[in-house]
Amino acid sequence: MFGDFISKYERKYETDAEKDKRFNIFSDNVDKIEASNAKVRSYTLGITAFADLSAEEFGAQYGMGFKPNADLRTSKNRSTFTAPAGFQAPSSVDWVQKGGVTSVKNQGTCGSCWSFSAAGSLEGAMFVAGRPLESLSEQQIIACDTNGKGCNGGSMDDAFEYVSQNGLASFKDEPYLCQDGQSSECQQMQCDSSVRETLQPGDVAKHTDVSPEENALEAAVAQQPVSVAIEADQAVFQHYTGGVLTNDACGSQLDHGVLVVGYGEQDGTKYWRVKNSWGAQWGDNGYINVERGASSDGGECGIRKMASFPTVRSSNSEQVIV
């Protein structure tokens, strides 16, 4: 199993001692995965790209990217979205199927989840506004948004604010440099203001907080993909491969930015469909289903605590699409 893991994920260990250490961690993780699956839960665990990391290493590397901006969230100019009167949530919503979501990306070992969540929200808002779906540049956000701290974290609200004032290039025109957060090209990245912008300054008309009630987030996701924060430093995220993740498997100390792209029901359990930024080989082809409706306080994994979305103007008029 370890040999297959090394081959699949192209692991290269510098010394035999390091390889032995990783094998022992891998073996412990496999024991935990098999013990969890034996309990026949609503979700399954398996061998992901993180199987040779201890829980502490995983939490340190992948549980540090979301840093909320309290000043921005409490600004008097902020608006809050609530479910419209009489709103009845559709039985399911799927923005991937509708064509409003780009392919799964991989943030690597950089704490840039906030930029991936924000870019995904902006891509979805462009699609809803009648613009072509285009992959946007997370690199520009982490290099240029001075309210964020690049690979050391930031917030989706910061990113929306930056893009509203400065615009944003496409992923093609400014690709991601920080797959390895310790690489020289990532460490020495510069803000390049000469890149052609796909979103122009002013194209993001506003960004709106979502009230923490379940029907508010359902109503928001029914109109477009929505940025959310969750707690993802738990072992269940490290090894998740499918099914619906229940609230007892995660906490609500928000540390990771992701994108809600829909919701539905599986085997009698309601869920939020969430796009992650750990590559398509993780989870359910890069996605995770998080239980919906069982937790009254902020939602499962804290998913309803800090949801927000941007509004993008139509490309052929001044009309704001809400």
Q: Which of 235, 241, 224 has its CA nearest to residue 288? A: 241
Taking each helix axis from N to C end, the angle separating 156-166 and 113-128, rounded to the nearest 10 degrees, works out to 60
Rounded Cα distance between 301 and 315, Å, is 36
DSSP 57-72: HHHHHHS--B---HHH
276 is catalytic: yes
9, two tokens: 């994920």
Would the CA dihedral through 277, 287, 9, 249 be positive or negative?
positive
Q: How far is CA 300 from the centre of its chain?
A: 15
Q: Is 103 buried (19+), middle (13-18) or exposed (0-12) by CB count in 10 A?
A: exposed
Task: Show Cβ contacts of residue 34 under 8 Å, excluding neighbours closer than 6 positions.
Answer: none
113 is catalytic: yes
317, two tokens: 């008029």
148, two tokens: 């964020």
Name the active-site residue from 29, 106, 110, 113: 113
Q: Which of 229, 235, 306, 260 has its CA nearest to residue 64? A: 229
User: What does the DSSP 8-state code read for residue 318?
Assistant: S
Name the active-site residue from 106, 166, 247, 276: 276
207 is catalytic: no
Name the active-site residue from 239, 247, 250, 256: 256
User: What does the DSSP 8-state code read for residue 20?
Assistant: H
Q: Which residues are catalytic?
A: 113, 256, 276
